[in-house]
Amino acid sequence: MNKLFSASSSKRHAHSSILNDRNFIINDNTAFSIKEEYKTLRTNIMFSIPSDGCKIIGVSSAEPMEGKSINCLNLAITFAQINKRVLLIDCDLRLPKQALLLNLDAIPGISNVLVGMNTICEAVQKTSYPDLDVIFSGDIPPNPSELLGSENMGKILLELSQSYDYVLVDLPPINIVSDTAAISKYLSAVILVVRATVSKRDNVKKAINQLELAGINIIGIVLNGVISKMGISRKYGKYGHYGKYGYSKTKE
């Protein structure tokens, strides 16, 4: 695949994108309408998975740069705001973003726990949001799909489910790599994020088909970046080039 940017140029775009994305982490100054949208999404999820016990929910997209990571983070914050015990895990092991968004150290993370370098307790980090913990990606491994689909991953999620009400999992784009299918057997459900004017219909259909073939419970689609009648984006502005060229098209 031809690359339009050099490695250093790509890094500059990544840095710019992260700085931009941080502006859209929900806080006290976030517009009321956006907060209400996330509350509505939270309520819909609670009704869609009414069973007792911890819910392990994956958040993904068909392609890169459609807003999955920031939506995953904001959804985790929204659940924590109603005093639910929430854990966010960055399982996008190829192009992790959550540690950059929260400006925290990504290591040790889930990859380090999976290979036995660190314990779960060492990987769990507190955030500035009450009731929200995170496990970041950790060191980038050579075999993400194998790690995410391993029996050890299932054991880790089972252990974590004893301590949390919700586990939100930031997953890689579905059409690019096979990682989401690998971990799907351990998830209660998946939410697909699509971006207005960016996501292509055929790509979204392909992603849905792949999820259905893997037997994954798709509980909804989040439409991201909708433009209001006033001409202002109701969610997020244009993303940069972060992650555009980092995923391999080959499956492991």
pLDDT value at residue 219: 94
pLDDT at 232: 42
Structural domain range at position 83: 7-224
State mean pLDDT over 5-9.
36
Q: Tell me which of 230 and 49 has the higher pLDDT.
A: 49
Any domain includes 247: no
Is residue 130 a part of any domain in this protein? yes
Instruction: With respect to residue 1, please indicate whether it lies within any of the assigned structural domains.
Output: no
> E-strand spans in the chain?
55-61, 86-90, 125-126, 132-135, 166-170, 189-195, 218-224
- Burial string for 157-193 (b: 16+ CB within 10 Å, else e) reads beebbeebbbbbbbbbbbbbbbbbbbbbebbbbbbbb
In the chain, DSSP finds a helix count (H) and a strand count (E) of 10, 7
Give the burial class of 35: count Cβ atoms within 10 A of its Cβ; 0-12 exposed, 13-18 middle, 19 or more buried: middle
> What is the pLDDT at residue 228?
60
The answer to the question of residue 249 being in a domain is: no
Please give the order of strands across the beta sheet that includes 125-126. Answer: 125-126, 132-135, 86-90, 166-170, 55-61, 189-195, 218-224
Contact 69, 170 (CB under 8 A): yes
At 252 the pLDDT is 39
pLDDT higher than 80, residue 168: yes
Name the nearest CA neighbour of 168 among 58, 74, 5.
58
How many C-beta atoms lie closer than 10 Å to residue 151's C-beta?
8
Q: Is 248 part of any domain?
A: no
Number of residues in the chain: 252
Chain mean pLDDT for the chain: 86
Q: What is the pLDDT of residues 23-46, one digit of tens each?
A: 999 999 999 999 999 999 999 999
CATH of the domain at 97: 3.40.50.300
Alpha helices in 138-251 (DSSP H): 144-148, 151-160, 179-183, 201-213
Q: Do the Cβ atoms of 182 and 93 come closer than 8 Å?
A: no
Give percent of the chain above pLDDT 70: 83
Beta bridge partners of 132: 86
pLDDT per residue as tens digits for the range 49-99: 988 899 999 999 999 999 999 999 999 999 999 999 999 999 999 999 999
Tell me the pLDDT tens digit for each residue of 91-121. Answer: 999 999 999 999 999 999 999 999 999 999 9
% of the chain at pLDDT higher than 90: 77
In a domain, 235, yes or no: no
Q: Taking the model in full, what pTM does it have?
A: 0.85
Distances in whole angstroms, Cα of residue 57 to Cα of each of 70, 105, 203, 216: 15, 23, 22, 11
Q: Which two tokens stand for residue 45?
A: 């999820």
Question: How many structural domains comprise the chain?
Answer: 1
Is 246 part of any domain? no
- Residue 233 in any domain: the answer is no
Of the two residues 8 and 166, the one the predictor is more confident about is 166
Local confidence band at 229 (pLDDT 50, 70, 90 cut-offs): low
